[in-house]
Structure 1
Amino acid sequence: MKNIGFLSFGHWSPDRGSQVRTASDVLLQSIDLAVAAEELGLDGAYFRVHHYARQLASPFPLLAAIGARTKTIEIGTGVIDMRYENPLYMVEDAGSADLIAGGRLQLGISRGSPEQVIDGWRHFGYQPGEGETEQDMARRHTEVFLQQLEGKGFARPNPRPMFPNPPGLLRLEPHSEGLRDRIWWGSASDATAVWAAEQGMNLQSSTLKLDESGEPFHVQQARQIRVYRDAWEKAGHDRTPRVSVSRSIFALTNDEDRRYFGRGGKDDDQIGNIDTFRAIFGRSYADEPDKLVKALREDEAIAEADTLLLTVPNMLGVDYNAHVIESILTHVAPELGWR
């Protein structure tokens, strides 16, 4: 059994063929897709966060809106770039969205990906401290965020406040109990997977990672998951962590599917550069259901993970993406024992 969710990059474009032409379209359609996915029995609705791009950016209004429209589906991100975040304000936003959703938030955070602009976080008012890298700054913001999610008082109260205070030091409000255990770290390397485990965060592993051994992507990713779980056990945490992997998977069940994806997936991994690092990009899958099931059985990382996030082509519209999800749940997941 696996938790299965969708992951939307939230693209919008006025170009011909796009069903998502404006920022308003992508926000409203994201809500509608989450509602449709819940009705189909999907476990999660996750959204990518990118700044300075025609994509979803500020996640908490969207997450809160989905939380108000749904009842059971997990709602998350994959990932929020912590270089851009005020961790205290983020605690308040996350707590509010989680309370609206009834404790269903699953927040994926990370250092972030290559950007649309140079050092975009500087325009948000952040810069690394002396001797810090931007990666260090992201982890510093993360550590503050995690600490404050615990809900312990830290701020000295005003002796003459506008409103009465409870006794003792004050914490950030609203506090959502249990959210601290539902934070995920998006990791592109074995080392950052170990760091995530030490910090007590769940693990998100995407469709790319640093090429650390020259082996196929799914083999490297499976090893990363095992390294993470070993580090979690050594850290002595008292709960079982969760691990997700992302994949582009399309079951070809009708002529429309074949028109969009009939050329198949990328049968081989791709090698490229992310910043100054050699990266490996995992293959995508598109085939007739029986052949798709056979191919997916060979993916070691999917087998290791407890959660699978299906990347969806959101610009094709809500109805088609609901069909993509339903096809996986109907024709693929049962054959692989995921349902």
Structure 2
Amino acid sequence: MKKIGFLSFGHWGPSFQSATRTAADALQQSIALAEAAEDLGADGAYFRVHHFARQLSAPFPLLAAVGARTRRIEIGTGVIDMRYENPFYMAEEAGIADLISGGRLQLGISRGSPEQVIDGWRYFGYQPQQGESDADMGRRHTEVLLDVLRGEGFAKPNPQPMFANPPGLLRPEPFSEGLRERIWWGSGSNATAIWAARLGMHLQSSTLKDDETGEAFHIQQAKQIRAYRAAWLEAGHARKPRVSVSRSIFPLVNEKDRAYFGASRQEGDQVGYLDEKTRAIFGRSYAAEPETLIAQLKQDEAIAEADTLLLTIPNQLGVDYCAHVLEAVLTQVAPELGWR
């Protein structure tokens, strides 16, 4: 059995062909799609976070709204760029969204991806400390957040407060019990996956990672997952780890599906460079008739290793079409693979 949810980038733009021409369209349709996914029996609604782009950005208002309008599905991110975040304020926002949803928040965080602007985190008021890289800064912010989410007081109270304080040192409020155990790290390498395991974070692995061995993407990703699980076991955590992978999967079941994706079937991985130093491998997309998809997906070692599958959806095609894609995967593909 696997948990199956969707991952939306929340694109919007003025094209007459887009169902999300404004930011308001993208946000309101994100909520509507989460409701539709829950009705279909999906397990999660996850949202990407990008700054300085016509996509979803600050996630907590959206997560809170989705949490208020749904009752069962997990709500989450994939991922929040921690280079841009104040860990203390983030703990408050995350606590609020988690409490509104009744403890369904699965918070995916990371050091971020290639950006729309140069060093965008500087505009948000952050810069690496001496000797740090921006990635180091993101991991430092993460460790502070994890510490705050333990719920222990650390701030000295005012002896003459406006309102009565509980005894002892204070913590950010509201505090959501258990959220610390629902933090995920979006990892693009084996090393950061191992780091995340040692800190007790779950693992999110997307459709790209560092090309560390030259092997097929799904094989490298499966090895990353195994290294993560071994590090988790070595760390001695009492609870079980979770692992998600993202995939673009489009069953071709009608003429609209074939018109959108029938001519763009990607048969292999792609390799490129994220910057001058980092060679990355991008996993293939899957688009085929259900019986063909089932045969192809049986060969994907990383999906087999993961307990959660996030389906990347083309949100600009509208809620109804994205719900159709989810339903096709859930009813015509997943059962045949033993995922449901």
**CA RMSD, aligned part only?**
0.5
The answer to whether the Cα contact below 8 Å between 1:106 and 1:183 also exists between their aligned partners in 2 is yes
Aligned counterparts of 1:197 and 1:160: Cα–Cα separation in 2: 43
Equivalent AA in structure 2 for residue 110 of structure 1: S
What is the deviation of 1:48?
Answer: 0.3
Matches within 5 A, 1:240-279: 240-275=240-275, 276-279=277-280
SS at structure 2 position matched to 1:324: helix
Which residue does 2:186 correspond to in 1? 186
Q: 2-side partners of 1:157 and 1:182: how far apart?
A: 29
Shift of 1:150: 0.7
Q: Distance in 1 between matches of 2:307 and 2:250?
A: 20
Alignment map for 1:46-125 (pairs within 5 Å)? 46-125=46-125
Q: Write out aligned runs for 1:127-276 (5 A).
A: 127-275=127-275, 276=277
CA distance in 2, matches of 1:266, 1:256: 18
Superimposed CA distance per residue, residues 10-29 of structure 1 (whole angstroms, 9 cap, x where no aligned partner) = 10011131010000000000
Cα deviation code 1:216-248 (max 9, x no counterpart) = 000000000000000000111010000000000
CA distance in 1, matches of 2:153, 2:336: 50
Equivalence for 1:315? 316
For each residue in 1:107-157, what CA deviation from the matched residue of structure 2 results, as whole angstroms up to 9, or x when unmatched?
A: 100000000000000000000000000011000000000000110000011
Aligned to 1:28: 28
C-alpha distance in 2 between matches for 1:264 and 1:295: 16
Say whether 1:3 aligns with 2:27. Answer: no
C-alpha distance in 2 between matches for 1:268 and 1:143? 37
**For the residues of structure 2 that align with 1:174 and 1:337, how far apart are their CA atoms?**
40
SS in 2 for 1:227: helix
1:27-63 alpha-carbon deviations (Å, 9 max, x no partner): 0000000000000000000000000000000100000
Equivalent residue, structure 2, for 1:45: 45
How far apart, in 1, do the equivalents of 2:166 and 2:185 lie? 34
SS of the equivalent of 2:158 reads: coil
CA distance in 2, matches of 1:112, 1:139: 10
**Whole-Å Cα distance in 2 between the matches of residues 331 and 268 of structure 1?**
23
Contact 1:219 1:301 in 2 (8 A): yes
- 2:329 alignment counterpart: 328
Contact 1:264 1:287 in 2 (8 A): no
Contact 1:264 1:285 in 2 (8 A): no
Measure, in 1, the Cα distance between the counterparts of 2:274 and 2:262: 29
TM-score by length of 2: 0.99
Alignment-mate amino acid for residue 310 of structure 2: L
Q: Secondary structure at the match of 1:335?
A: helix
C-alpha displacement of 1:265: 2.6
Structure 2 Cα separation of the partners of residues 15 and 301 of structure 1 = 36
Give the corresponding residue for 1:280. Answer: 281
| Secondary structure of the corresponding residue to residue 76 of structure 1 | strand
Separation in 1, partners of 2:266, 2:154: 51
Query: Which amino acid is the alignment partner of residue 81 of structure 1?
Result: D
Unaligned runs of 5+ in 2: none
How far residue 263 of structure 1 moved from its aligned partner, in angstroms, is 1.8
Decide whether the 8 Å contact of 1:12 with 1:315 is kept in 2.
yes
Q: What amino acid maps onto 1:44 in structure 2?
A: G
Shift of 1:206: 0.2
**What's the offset of the Cα at 1:264?**
4.7
Letter of the 1:292 partner, please give it.
L
**SS of structure 1 residue aligned to 2:337:** coil
Percent identical residues: 73
Task: Using the TM superposition, give the Cα deviation of residue 266 of structure 1 relative to its aligned residue in structure 2, in angstroms.
Answer: 1.1
Q: TM-score, normalised by structure 1?
A: 0.99
Give the number of aligned pairs: 339
